[in-house]
Structure 1
Amino acid sequence: MPATGTPRKRERHDMFLTAGSTRAKRWKNRLKWAVTLSGAGLLLFSLTYGLDKSDQLASFVCGLVLLLSGFQLFPFRGPGPGVEAILPDLRKDIDEFWRKERRARGLAGAELMPIRLRTAGTSGHLAVEHTGAPVWPSHQYAKDVAALVTDSTLTRAVIHGPPGVGKTTFAIMLTSGVVRGDTHVPLYLSLASWSPGEERFHDWFDRQVAAAYPSLRALHPRNDTLLERLAIDRIVLILDGLDEIRGPVRTDALKKIDEAVDRDQSLIVLTRSSAQLPSLTGGSVLVLERLEAEDAAAYLTVRLLSRVPATARTAVRRLCSALRTGAVPDMAEMLRTPLYLDLLCRAAERDEDVPTRFLDAVERRGADAGKQLLYSTFVDQALRSRLGGSSRRLRRARRWAACIAFEMSRAPAASRTLAWWRIYERVPATVFGAATALAVAPAYRLCLLMPPGLTRGFAIGTVTSFVLGACRGVNTRPAAPVAALASAASVLVVGTWLLDGRQAVVDACEIGAAIGLVFFFKSELCGRWPACAGAVLLTGMASALAVYAANAVLPPGTAPARTPVGVLLAVVTGVAIAALAARLLTRPGGPLRPSTASLHRRESLGLPLRPVFTATCAASAAGLGGAFVGAATQGLQHGLHVGIVFALVLGPAIGLPVGLIAWLNQPGRLPSASALRTYEHDRALAWLCFAGVTTTATATQIALDGLVQSWIDRLGDSSFTAQPVHGLLFGMTIGIVVAAYNTAWPNYVLCITWFAARRLLPWRFIRFLGLLHECEILRQEGPLYSFRAVELQSYLAATHAPARGEGVPGPHSDLPEQNRGTGAPTCGPTLR
């Protein structure tokens, strides 16, 4: 059972697990040494008596496998550090991240508006109120609100208020104040990325905190979740944006949170006011009130009068006078909301005419006109401050921001957060089908240089691997016809150039049918083993039938005909090995996620032998599959030849970079994650995969030519000769597949190319998101982005008039949802 309840119960649970792990270590060590000594003895025997026979070569390989297995197949993992042990590092990560975010949001050293926080149902009692000067220094704000937690005034509470009252600012300053102390550690999360109807709160919480604070992965949750492991009195959960959960399930969201979080856990939930006021078991309900008109006027006086030119002070005094006297009720009502008051001050500090224009707009056309003026001025000023005076660049950036806001506001079931690695959910599935031609062409060209055992089956298996890796989370079934046609056309072009037309048509029918069915059966290939086996068999049978039909229809030619049995064997082997490798190296049935591997130094990582060995075995399966097909079709000697060359080339080439990435993915002391840092790490690891596989394959092929050529000569098979250039081409092809398995960057490059070619997004999309964040139009919560205010997002969305069928990345969700995209302008599933 999970360790829940009091800290004493959790401590006893950890002690029990530690004792069990210590007992298990004894017999595992004995078994490890027994297997290791057996493998070493077999290896020594093989080296002593020579390697001139194939059975001795098999003994050599078997001994090598046993030697590696003894060390790595029985690893011992300790219980991992406790929660208290990682709290100092976690506190440092939180403090570093929110220090940068406060600067990005303009809160560092800012003069903030006083707040009024009272207990609901009372009229006079205030839980906290700053009654000093009309402005509140940010450091004092953080200190005062953090005192509510440290003195146990605020333990379990729901804080609500009208739109724009400053709930998010309150949550951020509360987080900043608490983390500066030495008693509590706050965890701030935005609920906008949670879909209660589709995901448990435990699962969402674990994913979000692990993405934002990777050091928490060091807890190694066993049967319990991170939420349960963090259920200690020193952890304070601050959940903002309950109102941003859309759909009919929003009313039940707080109930699910209440049931999931331990009763002794400090929990603060912020939301907009609603008719049905939510509550927590054993908690209180607080109201964050808007400013009084007198407070707003005093704030304007202090902040603006001394900062604007003398020519604009008259307009500021008119504003303050109208606020105090209530001469313009719409303006007084609007400026009582801190959001609009802050926007007015920011705009007036940069443009002295704003107060006059704002007052005239409200007097003539009402409050809505004043809001539109503030939004437009804020966006234009923020973008101009970063882009300079170029009107063209300003219009283009504004259009892109409006497109993003429009798509993030479209679907009622969508959240309001955006992640760069999930933009594929707004890409039609047919785009991935058409892009298959780019992967088929080099794979087919390479297979024509290979021996018969690794030709069409290798090309089909390689492209299948790319589809299973790069299309994680994508519903590829609607794109099956497009993928089949694109693959067949690519094979026809390459085959007609290098071969005769009849053979090119036969190969196009075989590969096109196989790739089309891989797209159609992708979910089955990633699902349960019986369904996967059935999909593999049906794909092979359909390809064999396509080849038989093509041979029957086409006139006889000089090119060798493909037999149905050989085609069935090659296709089944290629697709089966690709599905097996995908399952061993990644999670093809889950959503696309960026790599969490990091090159930062961590302690107790151990040696990378086990992940390298696992990846090597998975990769060598492709060479062994080719050996099996080659032996069945060309004879035993040819099959052994293929197995020796390609298993030894493929295994180390893929095993080394993939194993290192898996090793670097282990939990440890990692800095807090941001969108840019996540993107840069993922891109670097994608290039590491590509370069590592290419270099290792080429070097291994060169080494094989010098070391084992005499073994191959004794086999008496002269059907082919592997050259270093083959290792280079082989490594480049497989390197792209490995990068697609381990990172989200290849998928992102394909998607952003489609968007940028249609002029819907900039090529450097991640930099544009960073620009909007620097302009305070977007806010960042871990690796996710959202708009600063829902009202600002709605304004930008209203200014966008998309063309027919136009779409841009919409609101993101990190759920294992499939892409519904078919090119229609309706928003797809939530992207988080």
Structure 2
Amino acid sequence: MSRFRQRAVLTGCVLAAVLATAGLFVTDYGIHPELWLTGLALGFLALLAVLDPWLHRRRAAGLATDDNLDAAASALARALHAQWNEEYRARGLQDNLLNLHWSALEGEPGHSDAIVRAFQRSRRMVFLGDPGAGKSTTAMLLTIGLLDQNTNGPVPFLLPLSTWDPNAEDVRTWMTRRLYEDHPALRNTELYGSYAADLLVEQRRVFPVLDGLDQIPPERRPDALDRINRAFPGSHPLVLTSSAEEFAEAGTPVPGAHVVQLQPLDHEEIAGYLRAVSDPVTAARWEPIFLHLRDEPGGRLAEALSTPLAVWLAGVVYGYGEPSELLDRARFPDRRAVENHLVDALVGGAFGDRAVAHHAGASQVWPKDKATRWLAFLAEEMRKRGVRELGWWELRRSVGSTWLALLGAIVLGTIGGFGVGWLMAYASTPKLAPITGLAAGLVVAVAALYASGHRVSKPRLGVWRSLVVVSGVLGTAAGLVFGALYGLSAGLVVGLGIGVAVALRFALGSSAELSHPSSPKWTMARDRIAVWTGSLVLAVVFGAAAGVVFGPSQSGMVGLGLACGLMLGFTLSVLHLRWWWFTVARIWLALRGKLPWELMVFLEDARKLGVLRQAGASYQFRHPLVQDRLAGARPSEVPSDA
């Protein structure tokens, strides 16, 4: 749905609710409520018919045209540009970016400011380097650089390969799915036609920037590379990052690709960066380390600090500490010991310190021991699933699917059944209250069980995509039931209210903003808006219906109708939304002490504190080393605050 139609539907819904209320309670001018409501209902349906995208299906039902795809690619480029620039600033790279050195395996030297030019010459590149060498940063810089140019060429789409299972789906199918997941507005058939994301991939209007071949299990890497080569042959743009050893072991070259190697940092670059990010006192503390690196350029400490990740960690960890402890050979005998120490210090130092939280802009000071335990739980859950991305909607996987479905169904069934039964208990048929409430609760519970395992599919353009038909049919059905029980006016109020609720759900569920950068907070906010809007609409509907049935002077019954409508509206709004199942899982895990109550606030603070980073609508640990280190920790190794 276009932005104009979306706003018009929302405005029409608000006007319908206001005019319905005015017609019911303002009777000084001899307005007959039933006539008023009938005319208003017909007028509302006429408005929906004018705005209904399905009625324009000749334009929307066909495959996306070239103009549709041009518009989609342009808007997608703007969204990705905003997304990755925001992440670039969040990581502090605009102020303290190490100069990443890379050279071709043939020996040609290069520098990070030449990445975009190098790609434009070859159009196919493979970046190799040790863990922490800056491969992901290079991929992000290349993506931003290409998007900065705002050309009409293919749009770079940066994706972590850890989210792809070569045995489960084709690489192009995976790219298409990720486009729909991260940018749901591509489902907007009115603006972009049908199968916009599919055609963007098929027609090479987007090209993959694939980060982390080494994150795919070893036994699957050769097949994964073979599938990538077949999907994107030598004439098509492609970027791939991997560790050098894992790429060589895969034994499958990338035809036509310019392979470059990210080089380790030397002692002068390490010293220059650490002096730049330190105050004079802290910089002086680093001098013994700089002397050691100069004297032993091939030693274990020089090797440990040879990657941008390790140098960044050292700068953060020893911002106010004493780095000379790294000279202790017994405590830090090799590179792995130094890296583990820096990761542990990063996680431990990020939490529990008011000054650190204030400097990072965190919302609160999280207890160090609890924060470490929560992050270790998330890292372990991600390790079990073999993923590197933490999507908030995937939290449900940390609770057994059967157990989660039962919890969600019981809660929703109880809320919905109690709302209906409570209202019936004070209506003209109190004897039916227990039976009606139980029946309503069972219906809601069954619907919740079905919704718990139902995945949202690609948009279909059948009659169920019709705004006016669906709103009209459901509103008429509800109106007939309530009209038979409580009279024509009550039936008209409820029918119109249900129609308004369905139209609102349709409008709010349609993404009109493809150019909006994807983020965890934004994707969750869309679900929450749909929930509370639908809840409030049905609250007003049932409140008005109670006023019609019992008389507006009985304010208690009107209030009861509002409360019951709010409960029923909530249960109907959340059934197919990821937010509800996330909330059930979050509360259950918080009750067991596995995660904090304010999970999303905690994750955003962890991002600000440098432990997490953001990739589209998901979070990631700052580096796989951080995730692996936390996932390897045992609960007994994490101190308790008890």
- Shorter-chain TM-score: which interval? 0.7 to 0.9
1:759 has 2:593 as partner: yes
Alpha-carbon displacement from aligned partner over 1:381-400 (angstroms, at most 9, x marks no partner): 33335436999723322222
Q: Is the 8 A contact 1:611 1:662 kept in 2?
A: yes
CA distance in 2, matches of 1:304, 1:640: 78
1:735 to 569, 572, 586: 569
CA distance in 2, matches of 1:105, 1:795: 21
Question: How big is the shift at 1:192?
Answer: 2.4
Question: How big is the shift at 1:60?
Answer: 11
Alpha-carbon displacement from aligned partner over 1:41-75 (angstroms, at most 9, x marks no partner): xxxxxxxxxxxxxxxxxx99999999799765744
1:331 to 301, 316, 324: 301
CA distance in 2, matches of 1:285, 1:299: 26
1:266 has 2:237 as partner: yes
Secondary structure class of the residue paired with 2:619: strand
Q: Is the 8 A contact 1:158 1:278 kept in 2?
A: no
- 1:531-570 matched pairs, under 5 angstroms: none
Alpha-carbon displacement from aligned partner over 1:131-176 (angstroms, at most 9, x marks no partner): xxxxxxxxxx4x4211123x332x2333333222211010111111
Question: How big is the shift at 1:740?
Answer: 1.1
Alpha-carbon displacement from aligned partner over 1:381-437 (angstroms, at most 9, x marks no partner): 33335436999723322222222222222x2x4312112222222224335535616
- Aligned-residue sequence identity (percent) comes to 23
Secondary structure class of the residue paired with 1:76: helix
2:397 to 408, 425, 445: 425
Secondary structure class of the residue paired with 2:121: coil
Aligned length: 567
2:3 corresponds in structure 1 to none
1:188 corresponds in structure 2 to 158
Q: Is the 8 A contact 1:301 1:320 kept in 2?
A: yes
1:699 has 2:550 as partner: no
Distance 1:772 1:230, change over 3 A: same
CA distance in 1, matches of 2:397, 2:339: 33
CA distance in 2, matches of 1:225, 1:802: 50
1:615 has 2:471 as partner: yes
Secondary structure class of the residue paired with 1:78: helix
Q: Which amino acid aligns with 1:158?
A: V
| Greater Cα offset, 660-669 or 615-624 | 615-624
1:170 has 2:170 as partner: no
User: Which is greater in Rg?
Assistant: 1
Stretches of structure 1 lacking an aligned partner (at least 5 in a row):
1-58, 131-140, 475-588, 597-608, 628-638, 708-721, 804-832
Alpha-carbon displacement from aligned partner over 1:614-641 (angstroms, at most 9, x marks no partner): 13423544565x68xxxxxxxxxxx944
Q: Is the 8 A contact 2:100 2:262 kept in 1?
A: no
Q: Which amino acid aligns with 1:780?
A: Q
1:21 corresponds in structure 2 to none
- 1:229-240 matched pairs, under 5 angstroms: 229-230=200-201, 235-240=206-211
Distance 1:698 1:392, change over 3 A: closer
1:468 has 2:439 as partner: no
CA distance in 2, matches of 1:441, 1:724: 17
CA distance in 2, matches of 1:407, 1:701: 48
Q: Is the 8 A contact 1:649 1:727 kept in 2?
A: no
Alpha-carbon displacement from aligned partner over 1:91-129 (angstroms, at most 9, x marks no partner): 33222222210111121132313321314xx3x234xx1
- 1:310-709 matched pairs, under 5 angstroms: 316-326=286-296, 329-348=299-318, 350-354=319-323, 356-361=324-329, 365-383=333-351, 384=353, 385-387=355-357, 393-409=367-383, 411=384, 413-428=385-400, 429-430=402-403, 432-434=405-407, 436=410, 438-439=414-415, 440-449=417-426, 451=429, 456=435, 459-469=438-448, 472-474=451-453, 589-590=454-455, 610-611=466-467, 613-618=469-474, 620-621=476-477, 640-641=484-485, 648-670=492-514, 671-703=516-548
1:179 corresponds in structure 2 to 147
1:748 has 2:613 as partner: no
CA distance in 1, matches of 2:263, 2:557: 76
Secondary structure class of the residue paired with 2:315: helix
CA distance in 2, matches of 1:791, 1:327: 24
Question: How big is the shift at 1:268?
Answer: 1.1
1:125 corresponds in structure 2 to 108
1:152 has 2:133 as partner: no
CA distance in 2, matches of 1:683, 1:723: 28
| Greater Cα offset, 100-109 or 430-439 | 430-439
CA distance in 2, matches of 1:214, 1:620: 31
Q: Is the 8 A contact 1:167 1:288 kept in 2?
A: no
2:102 corresponds in structure 1 to 116
Q: Is the 8 A contact 1:740 1:746 kept in 2?
A: yes
CA distance in 1, matches of 2:444, 2:233: 43
Secondary structure class of the residue paired with 2:597: coil
Q: Which amino acid aligns with 2:92?
A: G
Distance 1:278 1:442, change over 3 A: farther
1:91 corresponds in structure 2 to 77
CA distance in 1, matches of 2:161, 2:301: 32
Q: Is the 8 A contact 2:126 2:258 kept in 1?
A: yes
Q: Which amino acid aligns with 1:93?
A: A
CA distance in 2, matches of 1:656, 1:85: 31
CA distance in 1, matches of 2:433, 2:283: 81
CA distance in 2, matches of 1:681, 1:65: 25
Distance 1:642 1:358, change over 3 A: same
Question: How big is the shift at 1:784?
Answer: 0.5
Secondary structure class of the residue paired with 2:517: coil
2:167 corresponds in structure 1 to 197
Distance 1:290 1:63, change over 3 A: closer
2:261 to 288, 291, 310: 288
1:558 corresponds in structure 2 to none
Q: Is the 8 A contact 2:520 2:617 kept in 1?
A: yes
Q: Which amino acid aligns with 2:182?
A: A
Question: How big is the shift at 1:206?
Answer: 2.5
Question: How big is the shift at 1:794?
Answer: 1.6
CA distance in 1, matches of 2:457, 2:448: 9
Alpha-carbon displacement from aligned partner over 1:677-700 (angstroms, at most 9, x marks no partner): 222232222111111111123224
Question: How big is the shift at 1:796?
Answer: 1.9
CA distance in 2, matches of 1:103, 1:444: 53
Q: Which amino acid aligns with 1:423?
A: L
Question: How big is the shift at 1:329?
Answer: 2.6
CA distance in 2, matches of 1:646, 1:730: 15
CA distance in 2, matches of 1:375, 1:118: 31
CA distance in 1, matches of 2:73, 2:457: 30
Q: Is the 8 A contact 2:166 2:224 kept in 1?
A: yes
CA distance in 2, matches of 1:102, 1:62: 51
Secondary structure class of the residue paired with 1:117: strand
Distance 1:97 1:227, change over 3 A: same
Distance 1:68 1:329, change over 3 A: closer
- 1:30-109 matched pairs, under 5 angstroms: 74-78=55-59, 81-109=67-95
1:244 corresponds in structure 2 to 215
CA distance in 1, matches of 2:227, 2:298: 44
Q: Which amino acid aligns with 1:125?
A: E
Distance 1:163 1:306, change over 3 A: closer
Structure number with higher relative contact order (C-alpha < 8 Å, ≥ 6 residues apart):
2
